[in-house]
Structure 1
Amino acid sequence: MDSGGFFVSLLSGAAAGTSTDLVFFPIDTLKTRLQAKGGFFANGGYRGVYRGLGSAVVASAPGASLFFVSYDYMKSTLKPKFQRLLPSASDQFIDTTVQMCSSTIGEISACMVRVPSEVIKQRTQTHASHSSWQTLKVILRNENGEGIRKNLYRGWSTTIMREIPFTCIQFPLYEFLKKKWAQFDGVEKVAPWSGAVCGSIAGGIAAAATTPLDVLKTRLMLSDRSVPVWQLAKDIYKEEGFKVFLNGIGPRTMWISAGGAIFLGMYETVHALLTFRGDKPL
């Protein structure tokens, strides 16, 4: 990836992340409260659905930019390597493998920014009066003695556990749908609105499939102390039953399905605007 491609991915990702978080933040709040211990109304109900927006907005642009810079770079780097390593493999198999590896690396990169933001955001969403800044100050006081890094990155491993299967479903499916749509229309590349539709379908399927992991991630981030993820899963199952792992599946699927349309549609739109002027690349 040259410097032009780097900045195109950087700016396209920033626009995609910020627009999605601004539009769909209330649905994310409702999902978090559904998944939190004690239930929906005990954690705020329908009140203050924009609580925690500050931390999400601050992190959305750099997080999404990190993802797309890593994803686009790894796609262009890994494809020729896989073609050399697997000369007899089909193009579809190579494309899918490259997309899964690239999106995984992209998600891990983005989580360096996203996890602290999620911790602050979710604790603010379920607190009756705190703002994002007040929540951050509480974390920085390190009242539980576990250390600032451990408190800010609580749920890191579970977030990665959720994001890797999510992105391994979403992005290969997204790229596959775009490819089939382009073939059906007889064009080389689909329009941004078509990419938005493909992103919506892929995001909704991936969101529904990974909801149990999202429940675990939410509970870990809201916990005052670190808990091994498998112990947490056993405790939740014993106390609340299996159905709790599907809490928030409706809002999560709706939010990510609609958010996928805006996120990937905005990415495709900005990418196209920055890459082309008329019929000639910039």
Structure 2
Amino acid sequence: MTEEDITGIIKRSLVAGSIAGCSVDLLLYPIDTIKTRLQQKKSLTRGFLFSSLYSGVGSVLIGSGPSSALFFTAYNLSKQTIQFSSQWQTHMTAATLGEICACLIRVPVEVVKQRAQVNRNLSLLTITRSCFQNEGLFGLYRGYFATVTREIPFSIIQFPLWELFKEYWSTKQGYPVAPWQGALCGSISGGIAASITTPLDVAKTRIMLAHHSDIDAASHSFTVMKNIVKNEGFTALYSGVLPRTMWISIGGLIYFGAFEYVTSLFFSKKS
């Protein structure tokens, strides 16, 4: 792979990833807010569940584009430089490395965003300042390992399936998939991955929303899940599974559609 190839991959990934990340998060933010509120410990009223659904959206505007751009840059570079005998292994490894990098940006944004979603009267600045004062920098990275624990299983299901579906469709029709076809493949693979990994998402949400003196704040994902089953029952692990699956399925359509479309523009411009 030449230096020009690497530069091209980085440019495409940064631009397409940023547009894809911002598009999906802004359009589907209300569904994410409902999902987060359903997963918190506290009981909530119907009025609160559906009010101020864009609380904390400012954090998404700041972090969504960069984290998605970083993911696709690491993912696409890894696909080209790390080769296994099985494409499935290559895509799983690339997705893992992409998530580890992206979470460095995504986690602080997610912490502030989720606290804003359940504390609608507090500004992003107030939440961030409170986090620093009470917990230090660690507070903004609370749940990093829980997030990585959720994102890696999610991505090693979603991205290999996405690549597999695209390859199958391309082979069947005899030419590369169009952006809308890639988007549909992303929607289906995302929905499958979302439903399977919901318990990890519930655990991550509990850790991020916990008060710094709460036992959940310092717990690992599997410890939190064990406590949820013990105290609330097994079904509590799937709190918010419907909005999560719906959000990510629709999101996959937008996310991968935007990514595939912007990427296709780069290739058409090059040709």
Instruction: Look up the match of 2:111.
Output: 119
Instruction: Give me the whole-angstrom Cα distance separating, in 1, the residues matched to 2:58 and 2:122.
Output: 12
> Which aligned pairs between 1:1-282 and structure 2 lie closer than 5 A?
1-41=5-45, 44-79=48-83, 82-83=84-85, 94-142=86-134, 147-187=135-175, 189-225=176-212, 226-229=217-220, 230-277=222-269, 281=270
Distance 1:237 1:19 in 2: 35
Give the deviation of 1:40 after TM superposition: 4.0
Gaps of 5+ in 1: 84-93
2:115 aligned partner, one-letter code: R
Provide the aligned C-alpha RMSD in A: 1.4
Instruction: Please identify, of 199-208 and 132-141, the stretch whose mean Cα deviation from structure 2 is larger.
Output: 132-141
Structure 2 contact 59–113 (Cα < 8 Å) conserved: yes
Give the unaligned 5+ runs of structure 2: none
Pairwise CA distance, 1:134: 1.9
In the TM superposition, what whole-angstrom CA distance separates every residue of 1:199-218 from its partner, at most 9, and x where no partner exists?
00000000000000000000
Is the CA contact 2:6–2:77 (under 8 Å) kept in the aligned structure 1?
A: no
Counterpart CA distance in 1 for 2:123 and 2:252 is: 27
Percent of aligned pairs sharing the same letter: 44
2: CA distance, partners of 1:174 / 1:105: 17
Deviation string for 1:175-216 (max 9, x for gaps)? 0000011111110x2000000000000000000000000000
In structure 2, what is the Cα distance between the partners aligned to 1:77 and 1:109?
A: 16
Task: Output the amino acid matched with 2:25.
Answer: D
Q: Matched residues in 1 for 2:158 and 2:127: separation?
A: 32
Offset of 1:267 from its aligned partner? 0.4
1:42/1:228 Cα in 2 relative to 1: closer, same or farther (>3 Å)? farther
Distance in 1, matches of 2:120 and 2:80, equals: 47
Query: Residues 128, 13 of structure 1: CA spacing in aligned structure 2 closer, same or farther, 3 A cutoff?
Result: closer
Q: Is the CA contact 2:56–2:113 (under 8 Å) kept in the aligned structure 1?
A: yes
C-alpha contact 2:195 2:241 (8 A) present in aligned 1? yes
- List structure 1 runs of 4+ shifted beyond 4 angstroms: none
Equivalent-residue separation in structure 1 for 2:101 and 2:117 (angstroms):
25
Count of aligned pairs:
262
1:195 counterpart letter in structure 2: G
**Counterparts of 1:106 and 1:71 in 2: how far apart (Å)?**
5
Separation of aligned partners in 2, 1:40 and 1:186: 52
* Cα-to-partner distance string for 1:54-108 (whole Å, 9 max, x where unaligned): 00111000000000000000000012xx24xxxxxxxxxx111000000010011
Deviation at 1:131, TM superposition (A): 2.1
Say which SS state the counterpart of residue 39 (structure 1) adopts.
Answer: coil
CA distance in 2, matches of 1:238, 1:5: 47
Give 1:231 deviation, angstroms: 3.5
Mapped partners of 1:191, 1:42: distance in 2: 42
Residue type of the alignment partner of 2:72: F
What is the SS of the residue equivalent to 2:28? helix
Q: 1:31 and 1:154, CA in 2 relative to 1: closer, same or farther beyond 3 A? A: same
In 2, Cα distance between the equivalents of 1:118 and 1:55?
A: 8
